[in-house]
Structure 1
Amino acid sequence: MYNKGTDPMEHISHFNQRMAVHSKNESLMCKVFPSSLGLVAMRWFDSLRAGSIDSFKELTQAFESHFITCSRVPQPLASLLSLSMREGETLKTYSNRYWEMFNKIDGDFDDVAISTFKLGLPVEHGLRKSLTGKLVTSIHQLIDWIDKYKRVKEDQ
């Protein structure tokens, strides 16, 4: 369900995925689309003038235009570069905060993410020391390494 406050283009993308089998049937797409709308968006849909929309593409363009202020704005890479572990912060909290910001950045910056995650840890942190001697080449490797480190620390 689309509720004002989420990205309208993401909603359309999800809708298109769910309706992929019927994507060639324009009239069906237009008829089913309102069932994916919450109260605020349904009010917008109900206010459309009869006959003002001629295709599913026009409907989605009107939807995007109306809810444009809810569009997700990708975070700049600089927001990732400025993250560091706070004094007294747990590795779990820092890691969660870091990956949440990483997921808001558009683009392929895995190599930068690996470096900045490590640099965001305090110099004396055991994980940073461990990562310094380890060649990590992918985000999956880094996350696995972080998880292993957390498990070892929890077992102690």
Structure 2
Amino acid sequence: MSRPWRRQKVDAFTRRISDFSEDKRRHMPANVKTYDGTRDPDDHLKIFESAATIKNWPQPVWCHMFNYTLVGNTRNWFSKLPRRSIDGFKELRKAFRLNFTQRKKCAKIPVELAGVKQRQGESTSAYVERYKDECIHVKACPEILKISGFMNGINNPELIKRLNGRVPQTFEELMKRTRSFIQGEAAAADSKKGYSNYRSQE
């Protein structure tokens, strides 16, 4: 009971990768950013590989640290990889490029983002994920077009009002404020639900 506890993980890594551990604490270099699938996957790989080479990480650490950079759609992609299918960074790199570079090749022109609208009955969070997925297919899209396309596509009046009150300057800021709005809505709904249950019990 006194030993450090680690949750048993069953994921795409083989045991020699997933069970690898060292006493040394590893830190991600500041120039390696998270990857959500909206930027060039090859650029992300080059930056990460350069940093990992300089750090002299063992191969299992390459795999784990690269996995930490995946967020959003890319995290979902990794979770759906076949169990115990990745036995080294070479295989992880190949699977990553096969999925995201192939999607990048189906390039669209930036103005096509203007046609991505929130559907009737579609939640704001679902629209966010779909819009980000569409951004993957647009090559070298200016930030302003990604921002305006998103803002013109949403149909939530309260979110539109908040974003137009102070228009985000970057797509990252836009996503951050939208996620904050979604979390606020969810918290308010939970609070309202709890109050309703309390009243019914009374």
TM tier relative to shorter chain: 0.5 to 0.7
Which runs of no fewer than 5 residues in structure 1 stay unpaired?
A: 1-9, 22-35, 38-68
Which residue pairs with 1:73 in the alignment? Answer: 106
Tell me, in whole angstroms, the C-alpha distance in 1 between the residues paired with 2:152 and 2:161. 10
SS of the residue 1:143 aligns to: helix
Once the 2 structures are TM-superposed, how far is the Cα of residue 130 of structure 1 from its aligned partner? 1.0
Which residue pairs with 1:143 in the alignment? Answer: 175
The one of 105, 116, 132 aligned to 2:149? 116
- What TM-score comes out, normalization by structure 1 length? 0.54
The CA RMSD measured in Å over matched residues stands at 3.3
Q: Give structure 1 regions of 4+ aligned residues with deviation exceeding 6 angstroms.
A: none
**C-alpha distance after superposition, 1:48-70 (max 9, x if no partner):** xxxxxxxxxxxxxxxxxxxxx99
The within-5 A match list for 1:1-156 is 72-122=105-155, 125-156=157-188
* Number of residues of Structure 1 aligned to a counterpart in Structure 2: 103
Q: 1:141 to 1:18 in 2, by over 3 A?
A: closer
Q: 1:100 to 1:133 in 2, by over 3 A?
A: same
Once the 2 structures are TM-superposed, how far is the Cα of residue 79 of structure 1 from its aligned partner? 2.5
Tell me, in whole angstroms, the C-alpha distance in 2 between the residues paired with 1:155 and 1:131. 19
Once the 2 structures are TM-superposed, how far is the Cα of residue 155 of structure 1 from its aligned partner? 0.7
Tell me, in whole angstroms, the C-alpha distance in 2 between the residues paired with 1:72 and 1:131. 32
Once the 2 structures are TM-superposed, how far is the Cα of residue 14 of structure 1 from its aligned partner? 5.3
Q: 1:133 to 1:18 in 2, by over 3 A?
A: closer
Once the 2 structures are TM-superposed, how far is the Cα of residue 151 of structure 1 from its aligned partner? 1.0
Tell me, in whole angstroms, the C-alpha distance in 1 between the residues paired with 2:107 and 2:141. 13
> Contact (CA 8 Å) 2:113, 2:135: kept in 1 or not?
yes
Flag the structure with larger Rg: 1
The amino acid that maps onto 1:89 is E
Percent identity of paired positions between Structure 1 and Structure 2:
17
